[in-house]
């Protein structure tokens, strides 16, 4: 045990971490990455970093999170002693050794994940091990339940609670902006939490934010949903299934999404908002997360099975994902396309049909449409303006302007067109390249940035016709996007010579 003087370090590291001088650490018998217990009016366990010069012997550097907890002032001292590793490190080792965990072990692990008791190395080892060898069905069920139980939960007094989730991977998937109002307009409750784009060009939360605030507490989500039937909010602002975000932080640099984590991540978020009947959109095809129908069916079965274990009724739709949904990618462009359908019923068939199909499934599951009648009721709800009216109510209750129309939404003022150099048909269409170009143009951070697609796979195009338009809010970002599009064409027209650079016209 040592008495050390506090030196605050005003940096957030997302963990309970402290810095000790190597001399003190050796004296205390701890190595880099070990834990120490800091005793005060409360006890806190923190991971130790070493320094030879930044923190003097006799001092202990406390990062922001530890300061927050201990509320110590500069010049005060704390008692420091070596602490054992949390039990979870042995549990992670079991996973690495291919051994099965019991319910209590999974709960212990998730608790330590939520409480930031595990370092990045330990979390990475856990996720790598589950990537290499999937958790069992039992373990995945416990993982999901533990994720739900370690965060905020919404419990509604009425039933059924509907929800919808897309596993992502297809650009331009703005369907929630249509589905949520269709479902709510038919008297069902749908508290839709959604995400912001991490690697995409715009998540549903990024889109909705153009129309209204999206950051609410679980309690607010509940109240708003009870009042108008639905919301479209950012899940990240709540404390719903917080373990999930902490695992995603580690999965992201590894570009992995272990199967059991994917299942638990989706279902925990649905379970925590009290969802009872859920439709899953599984975009399938080249350039998506699900390369083929066989893989899609396996995921669907696993989601349905896990739903069953959680007492949730899950239906899955394998949807066409090789081309974008609709013809726009990027927040403002997507919102315009969605609002236009709601306001005028004009818009791409792929968007209207996909939205109506999935909304229809929910209407049938919720008992407000007869079997086989959901799709038609969804189309009817769009046509008769009830869906648009409901979206306005949702916008209003979330604090936005309910009188918005698609004509009000601003897109980036800097644009460029990619034109076909020859007559022919679109032979190749690369989803990931479209997203990359939209991101280079500024999406999702610049809401007005994105890509409008004029020609999709299989469509005919004449020489000189535009195949896509890039939008940007900033001139240099447009230049970056154009440069990138030139280097590796996202859309290839039959007969187009690969070495021929497509004609790009800037329209300012």
DSSP secondary structure string, 24-59?
A: HHHHHT--TT-EEEEESSSEEEEEEEEESSSS-TTE
The answer to whether 261 and 127 have CB atoms below 8 angstroms apart is: yes
DSSP secondary structure string, 299-312?
A: HHHHHHHHHHHTT-
Token representation of residue 22: 């190597």
Is 350 labelled as part of a ligand binding site? no
User: One of 257, 313, 315, 480 is an active-site residue; which one?
Assistant: 257
Q: How far is the CB of 203 from a copy of itself (least distance, A)?
A: 13
Considering the rule CB under 8 A, would residue 15 count as an interface residue with a copy of itself? no
Torsion of CA 470, 485, 502, 468, to 10 degrees: -30
The region of 45-53, 225-233, 266-274, 368-376 touching a copy of itself under the rule CB under 8 A is: 45-53
Nearer to a copy of itself, 100 or 249 (CB): 249
CB neighbours of residue 505 within 10 Å: 13
Size of the site for a copy of itself (CB under 8 A): 54
Q: How far is the CB of 445 from a copy of itself (least distance, A)?
A: 4
Nearer to a copy of itself, 29 or 372 (CB): 29
Q: How far is the CB of 163 from a copy of itself (least distance, A)?
A: 26
Is 297 labelled as part of a ligand binding site? no
The answer to whether 397 and 221 have CB atoms below 8 angstroms apart is: no
Q: Report the residue from 67, 239, 305, 445 that binds a copy of itself according to the rule CB under 8 A.
A: 445
Q: Report the residue from 8, 13, 223, 459 that binds a copy of itself according to the rule CB under 8 A.
A: 13
Considering the rule CB under 8 A, would residue 254 count as an interface residue with a copy of itself? yes
Is 14 labelled as part of a ligand binding site? no
Buried b (16+ CB within 10 A) or exposed e, 60-93: bbbbebbbeebebeeeeebebebbebbebbebbe
Which residues inside 457-476 make contact with a copy of itself, applying CB under 8 A? 476
The answer to whether 185 and 389 have CB atoms below 8 angstroms apart is: yes
Which residues inside 404-443 make contact with a copy of itself, applying CB under 8 A? 439-440, 442
User: SS3 for 215?
Assistant: coil
Q: Report the residue from 67, 69, 77, 128 that binds a copy of itself according to the rule CB under 8 A.
A: 128
Rounded to a whole number, what is the largest CA-CA distance in the chain?
Answer: 79
Nearer to a copy of itself, 54 or 370 (CB): 54
Q: How far is the CB of 113 from a copy of itself (least distance, A)?
A: 14
Which among 149, 157, 227, 222 has a CA at the least distance from the CA of 192?
Answer: 222
Considering the rule CB under 8 A, would residue 29 count as an interface residue with a copy of itself? yes
Is 500 labelled as part of a ligand binding site? no
Q: Residue 233: beta bridge partners?
A: 193
Which among 390, 412, 418, 413 has a CA at the least distance from the CA of 402?
Answer: 390
Nearer to a copy of itself, 123 or 243 (CB): 123
257 given a catalytic annotation: yes
φ, ψ for residue 58, nearest 5 deg: 90, -10
Q: Which residue has the tokens 């605030």?
A: 213
CB neighbours of residue 28 within 10 Å: 17
Considering the rule CB under 8 A, would residue 100 count as an interface residue with a copy of itself? no
Residue 210 sits at the vertex; the CA angle it makes with 409 and 473, to the nearest 5 degrees, is 60
Is 458 labelled as part of a ligand binding site? no
The answer to whether 29 and 1 have CB atoms below 8 angstroms apart is: no
Considering the rule CB under 8 A, would residue 252 count as an interface residue with a copy of itself? yes
Q: Which residue has the tokens 């009872």?
A: 276
CB neighbours of residue 476 within 10 Å: 10
Is 452 labelled as part of a ligand binding site? no
Q: Report the residue from 78, 80, 109, 123 that binds a copy of itself according to the rule CB under 8 A.
A: 123
The region of 4-12, 38-46, 138-146, 384-392 touching a copy of itself under the rule CB under 8 A is: 4-12
Instruction: Find all residues with CB under 8 Å of 96, minimum gap 6, and list them.
Output: 125, 129
Which residues inside 290-329 make contact with a copy of itself, applying CB under 8 A? none
Q: Which residue has the tokens 């940035």?
A: 449
The region of 131-139, 155-163, 277-285, 300-308 touching a copy of itself under the rule CB under 8 A is: 131-139
Q: Report the residue from 79, 103, 111, 124 that binds a copy of itself according to the rule CB under 8 A.
A: 124
Nearer to a copy of itself, 249 or 294 (CB): 249
Integer-rounded Cα Rg, in Å, for the chain is 26
Q: How far is the CB of 276 from a copy of itself (least distance, A)?
A: 34
Considering the rule CB under 8 A, would residue 198 count as an interface residue with a copy of itself? yes
Is 124 labelled as part of a ligand binding site? no
- Residues found near a copy of itself in the complex (CB under 8 A): 1, 9-13, 19, 26-27, 29, 31-34, 49, 51-54, 61, 64, 85, 89, 92-93, 96, 98, 119-125, 127-129, 131-133, 198-199, 249-250, 252-256, 439-440, 442, 445, 476
Q: Which residues are catalytic?
A: 257
Known binding residues for AMP are 169, 195-200, 204, 265, 289
Known binding residues are 169, 195-200, 204, 265, 289
């Amino acid at each position: 045990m040592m008495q050390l003087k506090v030196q605050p370090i005003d940096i957030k590291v997302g963990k309970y971490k402290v810095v000790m001088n190597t001399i003190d650490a050796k004296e205390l018998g701890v190595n880099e990455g070990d834990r120490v217990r800091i005793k005060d009016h409360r006890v806190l366990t923190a991971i130790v970093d070493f320094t030879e010069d930044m923190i003097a012997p006799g001092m202990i550097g406390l990062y922001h999170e530890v300061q927050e907890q201990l509320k110590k002032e500069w010049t005060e001292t704390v008692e420091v002693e070596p602490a054992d590793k949390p039990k979870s490190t042995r549990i992670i080792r079991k996973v690495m050794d291919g051994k099965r965990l019991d319910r209590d072990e999974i709960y212990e692990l998730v608790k330590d994940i939520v409480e930031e008791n595990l370092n990045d190395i330990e979390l990475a080892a856990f996720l790598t091990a589950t990537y290499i060898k999937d958790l069992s069905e039992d373990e995945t069920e416990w993982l999901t339940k533990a994720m739900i139980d370690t965060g905020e939960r919404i419990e509604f007094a009425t039933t059924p609670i509907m929800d919808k989730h897309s596993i992502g991977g297809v650009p331009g998937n703005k369907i929630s902006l249509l589905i949520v109002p269709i479902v709510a307009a038919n008297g069902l409750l749908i508290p839709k939490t959604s995400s912001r784009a991490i690697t995409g060009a715009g998540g549903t939360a990024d889109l909705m934010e153009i129309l209204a605030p999206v950051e609410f507490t679980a309690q607010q989500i509940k109240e708003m949903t009870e009042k108008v039937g639905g919301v479209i909010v950012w899940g990240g602002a709540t404390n719903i299934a917080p373990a999930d975000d902490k695992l995603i932080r580690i999965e992201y640099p590894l570009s992995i999404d272990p199967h059991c984590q994917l299942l638990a991540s989706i279902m925990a978020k649905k379970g925590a908002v009290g969802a009872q009947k859920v439709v899953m959109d599984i975009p399938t095809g080249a350039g998506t997360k699900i390369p083929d129908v066989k893989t899609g069916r396996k995921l669907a079965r696993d989601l349905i099975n896990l739903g069953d274990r959680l007492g949730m009724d899950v239906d899955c739709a394998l949807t066409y994902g090789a081309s974008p949904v609709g013809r726009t990618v990027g927040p403002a462009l997507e919102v315009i396309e969605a609002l236009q359908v709601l306001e005028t019923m004009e818009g791409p068939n792929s968007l209207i049909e996909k939205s109506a199909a999935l909304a229809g499934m929910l209407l049938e599951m919720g008992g407000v449409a007869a079997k086989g009648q959901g799709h038609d009721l969804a189309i009817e709800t769009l046509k008769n303006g009830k869906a648009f009216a409901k979206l306005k109510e949702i916008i209003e209750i979330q604090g936005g302007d309910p009188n918005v129309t698609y004509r009000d939404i601003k897109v980036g003022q800097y644009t460029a067109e990619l034109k076909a150099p020859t007559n022919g048909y679109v032979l190749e269409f690369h989803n990931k390249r479209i997203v990359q170009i939209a991101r280079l143009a500024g999406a999702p951070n610049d809401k007005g940035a994105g890509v409008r697609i004029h020609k999709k796979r299989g469509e005919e195009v004449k020489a000189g016709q535009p195949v896509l338009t890039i939008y940007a809010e900033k001139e240099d970002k447009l230049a970056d996007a154009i440069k990138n599009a030139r280097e590796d064409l996202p859309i290839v027209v039959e007969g187009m010579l690969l070495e021929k650079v497509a004609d790009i016209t800037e329209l300012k």
